[in-house]
Amino acid sequence: MGNSVGQWCRKAGARFYVLDWRQNCLQYRIQDDEATGSEGGRFGSQSAMKGMVGRANRAAAVAEEGVREANLPKVIADQLRELITRGTLPPGLQLRQMELAERFHTSRVPLREALKLLSAEGIVEHDPNRGFFVAPLSANEARQLYRIRHLLESDLLSTVGWPSAAQLSDLRKRLKGLEEALKAQDAAAWLEHHREFYRLIFALSPEKVLVAEVLRLIGLTDRYRALAAHALPRALRKATPERHLISLLAKRDRKRLMAVFEADRTQIDQGIQAVLQARGL
């Protein structure tokens, strides 16, 4: 139908007006008398129809704006989460709503909703008397988060289906991006490739509720992983655990897969704890 909200078309000797908006197609017939050239019917005239089109355009614009406004808190929360993960907004920083509203070119209402979303996730803290703050990092929190991840990811890995050749190819592309980001010490790119790599692997499991929870926990540990990334042992900085996963998934060796995952994950957990404790967290 094209990109316009509506258009004229001919069909079976009659003239129709087609209103196409959000996949709802409404057809209004204008009777066409070829002999007299008269045009009538339900809407009376082409000018009346154009008036209806104008109203429909305005209604569509209002609806689109409503959708945008409804999604705005999530969009802002996603951007703030990325800034916090990268360390641009460091732990303990007060998140002043007026300054952030100016930064995101929005009002304080959607911004406050975004901060509430992040507060529910635990990466932002809210003091009713003082406002919102980036949550502090602590070795104790990291230990708990990684312990939960360890247990759930082990469970998920035991249920994943064997990947196809195309899926293995996608995983290898992500692994390459992950290793390049580690070599370049690009924390933001590394986190992105890391999240996508594990999303692809866990998507092979039918346990979708567990998958969603594990991906949420991965997001919560992003800050700790970014902080510790370049202080981890050399083997881990080469994405060795991810390379092991691809190799054993390709070989379809479940027993070896689980054993190697357990060993690699234990080493990662211990390495991150050592880094955090060395920093006095």
Residue with tokens 């060993």: 263
Q: What percent of the chain has pLDDT over 90?
A: 37
pLDDT band at 168 (very low <50, low <70, confident <90, very high): very high
pTM of the full structure: 0.65
- Which residue in 106, 25, 20, 28 sits closest to 60, CA to CA? 20
pLDDT at 185: 76
Q: Which CATH architecture has domain 72-134?
A: Orthogonal Bundle (1.10)
Most confident of 9-18, 37-46, 174-183, 195-204: 195-204
Strand order in the sheet with 124-127: 94-95, 131-134, 124-127
- Sequence-separated (6 or more) residues with CB below 8 Å from residue 195: 215, 218, 219, 222
- Sequence-separated (6 or more) residues with CB below 8 Å from residue 190: 178, 181, 182, 226, 229
Residue type, 165: A
184-194 average pLDDT score: 82
pLDDT at 36: 43
pLDDT surpassing 50 at residue 131:
yes
139-278 belongs to CATH 1.20.120.530: yes
240-250 average pLDDT score: 94
170, with CB counted inside 10 A (0-12, 13-18, 19+), is middle
Residue 197 and residue 174 in contact, taking contact as beta carbons nearer than 8 Å: yes
Please give the helix or strand (H or E) that residue 41 lies within, else none.
strand 39-41
pLDDT at 46: 55
Residue intervals in the chain for CATH 1.10.10.10: 72-134
Instruction: Give the separation between CA 70 and CA 220, rounded to whole angstroms.
Output: 24
pLDDT surpassing 70 at residue 25:
no
pLDDT at 231: 58
Residue intervals in the chain for CATH 1.20.120.530: 139-278
Average pLDDT, the chain: 77
pLDDT at 235: 52
Q: 215-226: per-residue pLDDT in tens?
A: 989 988 888 877
pLDDT surpassing 70 at residue 138:
yes
pLDDT surpassing 90 at residue 62:
no
- Which residue in 20, 186, 4, 36 sits closest to 28, CA to CA? 20
